[in-house]
Structure 1
Amino acid sequence: MSLRRRQKEQTRHDLLECAKTLFAERGYAAVTIDDIVAAVGCSRATFYLHFTGKPEILRRVGAETLAQRAVAVYADLDAVLDSGSRAEFTAWMRRAVAWFEANQAILPAWDEALALEPEFKEIARSAVAELPAAMPHYLKRWGPRRRHEAHLRIELLVSQLERFFTRWAIQGTIESSADEAAEVLSDIWFPALLPPGHRG
């Protein structure tokens, strides 16, 4: 890679990292492109060489985070459901909550952008819809005729986990330990994700 190309890649990386930090600290609406370029030490023109605007840079930050979730969290769930173990599922719930805790700083900015930027609705919808692709064994057990239902169940699980985490860790309106929440969420979701023929 040429020196110029390395410098360009480094600038792009720095813009993404600074934007992520600023969005986490201040939220989406309060951060401007000028804030991001000032933190990096480059010009607005340089910013626009890499991104079309503020929505795109948050989308790029979010895409990395959501792709990580699909691989690390939902591929893991596919293996756990394959085991048929309620205890393994509860352990997965704890790991899923830990993933949200590790990424909680950026999640409010993403929610804020969803409310402010119409294009984000489709991006968020696509991100959730892609999660079951990380779960081929789960989908196979439901069969082609019930594939849509299987997708919907995962999408509802994701939605409930996100809402629970927002109210529990960010807003503080749910009082519970992580372990207690994992147990109760497992009571709800472990049977709900089993195909009808596999339920006890």
Structure 2
Amino acid sequence: MAGPDSLREQKRTFTRSRLVAAAREVIERKGYASATVDDIAAAAGASRATFYLHFANKDSAVAEIVAEVGRYAVERYRALDELLTSARPDRRDQLRAWLADWLEYWRGTADLQHALSTAVSINREIERQMLDISSVTLIEQLEGFLGAQPSSERARIKDRAIILETMTSNVFAQASRDLMPATDDAVVDYLTETWEALFLAR
């Protein structure tokens, strides 16, 4: 049987998770700049005081959302590493499918991604957190692929991968909000060619 401390910790974890989910819902709906602590607390069915028991301010709740998004992206890039290090004859088709699924994820989270990009432009800590995920953490998940490259080339390939991932994120951000004049298929086709040149032509 769980003791009082264990139950208290479970309740605390549940409340914190509810607040993070509410923060995500609110910033998706209202945007980062317009969302307030009161909005988040109300959406979670909690008081303002309860919010401040868990987070110092709105930005610390948003940082938790960024961490959640980052964890999902890490899993995506681990799957990419498995693909890149496989001997499958259809790796190019699988790479295209991976990119298409990634764009679909961006489309499904377009409002959240836009809100987070606004947060990045306003808050330097969130900007650092996002940059660390996109330019370091994700590419580090390609350890199998990078480890198979000649040691003399590894740093250069890693730098190119970081640039490519950053470019792809920017393209997906625009495409997911219908700001890209090209169709999704055209976007994915072009990106497949670009990613193939770096990751498969070796």
What is the CA–CA distance in structure 1 between the aligned matches of 2:12 and 2:68, rounded to whole Å? Answer: 19
Between the aligned partners of 2:51 and 2:97, the Cα distance in structure 1 is 42
- Count of residue correspondences: 194
How far apart, in 2, do the equivalents of 1:126 and 1:92 lie?
A: 22
d(CA) in 1 for partners of 2:149, 2:160: 11
TM-score (norm 1): 0.87
1:90 aligns with 2:93: no
RMSD: 1.9
1:69 aligns with 2:73: yes
In structure 1, runs of 5+ residues without a counterpart are none
Which residue pairs with 1:135 in the alignment?
142
Partners of 2:92 and 2:200 within 8 A in 1: no
Instruction: Return the TM-score normalized by structure 2.
Output: 0.87
CA distance in 2, matches of 1:173, 1:96: 17
The 5 Å alignment of 1:29-108 reads: 29-71=33-75, 73-83=76-86, 85-108=91-114
Which blocks of at least 5 consecutive residues in structure 2 are unaligned? none
CA deviation digits over 1:129-183, x for unaligned, max 9? 111222111111224433332322222222122111222221x232333222211
Give the match for residue 22 of structure 1: 26
- 4+ long deviations beyond 4 Å: none
What is the Cα deviation at residue 103 of structure 1?
2.3
Does the aligned pair in 1 maintain the 2:119–2:127 contact within 8 Å?
Answer: no
Give the Cα–Cα distance (whole angstroms) in 1 for the partners of residues 176 and 109 of structure 2.
Answer: 11
Of residues 107-116 and 172-181 in structure 1, the stretch that sits farther from structure 2 once superposed is 172-181
Q: Who is 1:189 aligned against?
A: 195
Following the alignment from structure 2 to structure 1, what is the Cα–Cα distance between the partners of residues 44 and 93?
Answer: 46
8 A contact 1:80–1:89 mirrored in 2: yes
| 3-state SS in 2 of match to 1:142 | coil
Q: What SS class does the counterpart of residue 28 from structure 1 fall into?
A: coil
Q: Is the 8 A contact 1:80 1:92 kept in 2?
A: no
Cα distance in 1 for residues equivalent to 2:200 and 2:153: 12
SS state at 1:29 partner: coil
Distance 1:4 1:83, change over 3 A: closer
Aligned equivalents of 2:82 and 2:105: distance in 1?
17
Distance 1:50 1:31 in 2: 17
Alignment check: 8 A CA contact 2:85 2:144 kept: yes
1:158 corresponds, among 159, 165, 168, to 165
Seen in structure 2, the aligned counterparts of structure 1 residues 152 and 77 have a Cα distance that, compared at 3 Å, is same
C-alpha offsets along residues 31-71 of structure 1, whole Å, 9 cap, x if unaligned? Answer: 01111112223222221221121111111011111111111
Q: Could you say which residue in structure 1 is the equivalent of 2:13? A: 9
Distance in 2 (CA, whole Å) between partners of 1:185 and 1:149 is 20
